[in-house]
Amino acid sequence: MFENGELFPEKDVVSFRINKVVKRNGRIVAFDKDKITDAIFRAAAEVGGTDKELSDSLAKKVVVMINENYPPDSTPLVEEIQDLTEKVLVENGHFVTAKAYILYRAEHKRIRDGKEAKIIVRDNIPYKILWEYLAWNVDHKCDTIEKLNEQIKSGSIKKLIAEAEDVYHEEINKVAKKIIENKDAIRLIIVAGPSSSGKTTTTTKISEVLKKKNISFVLLNLDNYFKDLNEHPKDEYGDYDFEAPQALDLPLINEHLFNLMKGRTIKMPCYDFKTGRRTLDKTEFKLESNQILLIDSLHGLYNEMTKSIPHKMKFKFYIEAICQIRDNSGEFVRWSDLRMLRRMVRDSWHRAYDPMRTVGHWHYVRRSEMKYIVPFIGKVDHVFNGALPYELPIHKKFMFKQFPKIIKEYGNDAKKTDADIRARRVYKLLSEFEELDDPLVPKNSLLREFIGGSSYTY
């Protein structure tokens, strides 16, 4: 039942500044306020509530908060709207209903996670793959924070680190073998994955294996194919959107890819990020017979990017930080939260970028992932796990002390509610871990791409 609730004044008319949302599978659907009303009412009914009108008034308050957080015509994630719904329930004193709503979300997640292997259950990663990584974690006693903490205290974490690194490198060899077995047909490798999933290190390591077979990767730097800044699309905040595929000259990319596959020499453009302008026909480039062209891009799976190349000539490789660890309440760690921590650490030391800004910008990064990556994962040739089960205690060492000031800053900004919710969630997550010292991490580990000290040059 509702506690201490006040009806939303009937005279207040709530306008909808957004009309679409992004579902968990990446689909964009129409925004429907009534779904929020129904979800709140179902939660209330679980604890004896019967007031549908009050549910609707609270849903209107959620819409008001959405309007405060998102510019017109933006496209938030369903999860973001659900987070705001929880916040509205708590802030309006409906604690029992809020708890029922949280349990309702958890139950639906459990149902999704229990479906058959061919049913997509999280960010379009097949259930079979999720199960394999979870089973490994269970076998190695690292599927929960409690078990990881026990390994840190006992010192057995050193063995876990070695075993986790071995599994990662075994997967590198598996991908390389697939490419070698089809080397006569494959001419283009597409490496895709969300921000901070580990694409750079993983690609480097695969190339090391291929080099032993006299096969080399040649990177086509798509940054040089950005259009002039004044031609870029703008996001809902009025900023130039570098993460939209339309910011790239897609017709020119396809033309150059086609010519490279034909053995022709192309003249690549060069983009100057300081001036926001590109120079055409800047650098000559040709693909040799023992070389495979590599595209490392957020939009590598976007069909318009490589539509000029036949499917049989492409090998699509996807990497995600598939973290299969439960927190102390039994919830799985969100992959996007792990990747945000990676980026916070890397940005702070490598780019002198304030971690607070990384958190504040993350919702935009996440929406781009859901729109331009997740819907296309089902078409890849290999899914690779870039998460390491021991890394969160190390991120705690670098970032835990940053979160109080981040929460203080964003907690007072109505337009940054999403960042505040995310920061509080990650802060709570890190508080449950024992801290782990980074010298235990091998110099050639993927994790070094983010925490520094790698044997590779980035």
- State the Cα–Cα distance between residues 125 and 339, nearest whole angstrom: 16
Distance separating alpha carbons of residues 321 and 196, to the nearest angstrom: 8
Domain presence at residue 234: no
pLDDT at 117 over 60: no
Predicted local distance difference test score (pLDDT) of residue 238:
66
Packing angle of the helix pair 417-431, 403-411 (nearest 10 deg): 150
Instruction: Give 368: exposed, middle or buried? Use CB within 10 Å, 0-12, 13-18, 19+.
Output: buried
Q: Tell me the residue range of the domain where 373 lies.
A: 120-215+290-451
Report yes or no on 99 lying in a domain: yes
Q: Kindly indicate the confidence band of residue 118, based on its pLDDT and cuts at 50, 70 and 90.
A: very low
Same domain, 58 and 191: no
Which of the listed residues 64, 79, 113 is the one where a domain comes to its end?
113
Residues 143 and 165 in one domain: yes
What is the rounded CA–CA span in Å between residue 412 and residue 416? 8
Specify whether 142 is located in the same domain as 92.
no
Q: Same domain for 211 and 323?
A: yes
Question: Residue 119: pLDDT band by 50, 70, 90 thresholds?
Answer: very low
Choose the weakest-confidence range: 100-109, 289-298, 394-403.
Answer: 100-109
Q: Do residues 86 and 126 both lie within one domain?
A: no
298 and 439 inside one domain: yes
Last residue of a domain, one of 93, 113, 133: 113
Alpha carbon distance 438, 436 (integer Å): 6
| Whether residue 199 sits in one domain with residue 101 | no
For residue range 4-31, list pLDDT tens digits in order: 444 334 434 457 778 888 877 667 788 8
Q: How confident is the model at residue 241 (pLDDT cuts 50, 70, 90)?
A: low
* Per-residue pLDDT at 74: 78
pLDDT of residue 107: 63
The last residue of a domain, from among 69, 97, 113: 113
**β strands within 104-231, DSSP E:** 120-122, 125-126, 188-192, 216-219
DSSP E strand stretches across 229-303: 266-272, 277-285, 291-296
Instruction: Give strand pairing partners of 284.
Output: 267
pLDDT digit string (tens) for 26-70?
677 888 898 899 889 888 888 888 888 899 999 999 999 888 888
CA 293 to CA 187: how far, in whole Å?
Answer: 6
Q: Are residues 41 and 174 in the same domain?
A: no
Asked if the structure places residue 3 within a domain, the reply is no
Residue 153 lies in a domain: yes
Beta carbons within 8 Å of 140's beta carbon, 6+ residues apart: 160, 163, 164, 389
- Residue 24 three-state SS: coil
C-beta contacts of 400-403 below 8 A and 24+ residues apart: 400/427, 400/430, 400/431, 400/435, 402/344, 402/355, 402/356, 403/427, 403/430
The pLDDT assigned to 368 comes to: 78
Whether pLDDT at 181 is above 60: yes
Q: Using the 8-state DSSP alphabet, how is residue 312 labeled?
A: G
Strand 20-22 relative to strand 120-122, pairing: unpaired
Is the domain of 59 the same as that of 128?
no
67 with 152, same domain: the answer is no
Determine, yes or no, domain membership for 251: no
| Total domains, the chain | 2
Note the pLDDT of residue 237: 61
pLDDT of residue 423: 96
Residues ≥6 apart with Cβ < 8 Å to 346? 196, 449, 450, 451, 452
Question: Hey, which of 224-228, 239-243, 349-353, 425-429 has the most confident mean pLDDT?
Answer: 425-429
CATH number, position 322:
3.40.50
Residue 339: pLDDT over 50: yes
Question: 124 and 105, same structural domain?
Answer: no
**342 falls within a domain:** yes
Determine the pLDDT at residue 451: 96
Q: Is residue 393 part of a domain?
A: yes
> What does the pLDDT read at residue 108?
63
Question: Within this chain, do residues 317 and 390 fall inside the same structural domain, yes or no?
Answer: yes
Q: What is the pLDDT of residue 52?
A: 87
In a domain, 246, yes or no: no
